[in-house]
Copies of this chain bind each other. A is one copy, B any other.
Amino acid sequence: MNSSEFRRRGKEMTDFVADYLDGIEGRQVYPDVQPGYLRSLVPSTAPEEPDTFEDIINDVERIIMPGAASPACTELETVMMDWLGKMLKLPEAFLAGEAGEGGGVIQGSASEATLMALLAARTKVTRRLQAASPGLTQGAIMDKLVAYSSDQAHSSVERAGLIGGVKLKAIPSDGKFAMRGSALQEAMERDKAEGLIPFFVVATLGTTSCCSFDSLLEVGPICNKEDMWLHIDAAYAGSSFICPEFRHLLNGVEFADSFNFNPHKWMLVNFDCSAMWVKKRTDLIGAFKLDPVYLKHSHQDSGLITDYRHWQLPLGRRFRSLKMWFVFRMYGVKGLQAYIRKHVQLAHEFEHLLHQDPRFEICAEVTLGLVCFRLKGSNKLNEALLERINGTQKIHLVPCHLRDKFVLRFAICSRTVESAHVRLAWEHISQLASDLLGAEKE
């Protein structure tokens, strides 16, 4: 949508809201629809080609308004998560469908999704152990529980361990910064020998530092065999899996119990919108389900409806699936794929520029939109370069450590980024590097 259409549509939306409020007394207090009304009104998959804004707004009046905030908010979310799951070619088991055991939910952030998965896994293993040994206290069990993630996993994984009150151990990643099956197996065997109880593994697809990928095809079978919950955190990289050429990065998802990525990161959906799927929703729901009278409703036990409050930490919810519905329809799957591909191509363009300059080295494989690089030389030199880059305030880079190396990260992430911006950034970085190296020599 270009600027002039945005202006026109934004103003129409303003009138839409004002008209709604002006006429609110004429509207029904409570919707007439029956549970499950919405699924039959929308297609079962996202459109390949863009829909018009007109069509979407007409559908708001036709499909959403009769279902008001409830149940439309819940039902659109379930269907949108199915749409998105199908775009990623997630195994059928993760979809809600009309009678599935899995399904998706929108969380606020990947941190919350990881925490929810860890808590569900903790409840599940605790119940299993207490069923076998009724005398075991929860504390005694928690002292023995151990979770694993790669040493490259996001800090929120470690934090989930702290919040959940369980040990979280970092598995040393390999030369490509990936967690491998052998390293996980080794740590697990050692812990089991010491009497600990491995119960939860977070595999990262697209780490924050360098966008590396844990080996799902190795880690997954170990988790299944050892009855450990496998959660996949693909916060950033997940969006790319809608492109057939990147879908192989998700191979092994069939071994997982839960999977999460953030459409708010790289799929043009505004913050916040973190998409999480589980294979068995009873595992998630069972962890903390409480039903006081003031939250009861007549469809409670019918199995017809989804109570998302049991799927998440907060009780209240926003209507975030509307954002997904609008974005998926306005871009179409093809438009979203083109957006991802453009970013990846721009990252490779930057990678290519770096390759031609022998002063620099590339520090990790460029798979998606992130390029990790540095000047050949000391960490101090690179810290000085970063200081110059960020100090001039024309572009902004966020660094990381890869093993003992201080590394600069060039991330393609703006909606409007073009090849010209990448070249400009490169010239800028290159010039500042020359200045720095010149000053070093003096």
Q: Which residues of A contact B (CB under 8 A)?
A: 3, 6-7, 10-11, 13-15, 17-18, 21-22, 24, 28-30, 32, 108-112, 115, 119, 122, 137-144, 154-156, 158-159, 162-165, 208-209, 264, 271-272, 287-288, 290-295, 313-316, 318, 390, 393-396, 398-401, 409, 416
Contact = CB atoms under 8 A, between A and B. Distances in A.
Contacts of A29: 393-396
A294 B398 contact: yes
Nearest to A265: B316
B293 A400 contact: yes
Q: Which 6 residue pairs of A and B lie closest in terms of their CB atoms, listed nearest first?
A: A10-B14, A139-B143, A139-B139, A109-B314, A30-B393, A155-B292
A145 to B, nearest CB: 9
Helix, strand, loop or mixed for chain A's interface? helix
A316 B108 contact: yes
B290 A159 contact: yes
Most buried by B among A10, A21, A271: A10
A394 to B, nearest CB: 6
Given A10-B14, A316-B271, A395-B29, A288 B159 contact: yes
B7 A163 contact: no
A169 to B, nearest CB: 15
27 contacts: A10-B11, A10-B14, A10-B15, A10-B18, A24-B416, A29-B393, A30-B390, A108-B108, A110-B315, A111-B313, A122-B165, A137-B143, A138-B139, A138-B143, A139-B141, A139-B144, A139-B165, A140-B140, A142-B165, A155-B292, A155-B295, A162-B288, A163-B163, A163-B288, A163-B313, A164-B165, A294-B400
B396 A30 contact: yes
Contact of A109 (B21, B293, B315): B315
Contacts of A13: 10, 14
Contact of A18 (B3, B144, B291, B398): B3
Most buried by B among A18, A271, A409: A18
B290 A108 contact: no
A314 B158 contact: no
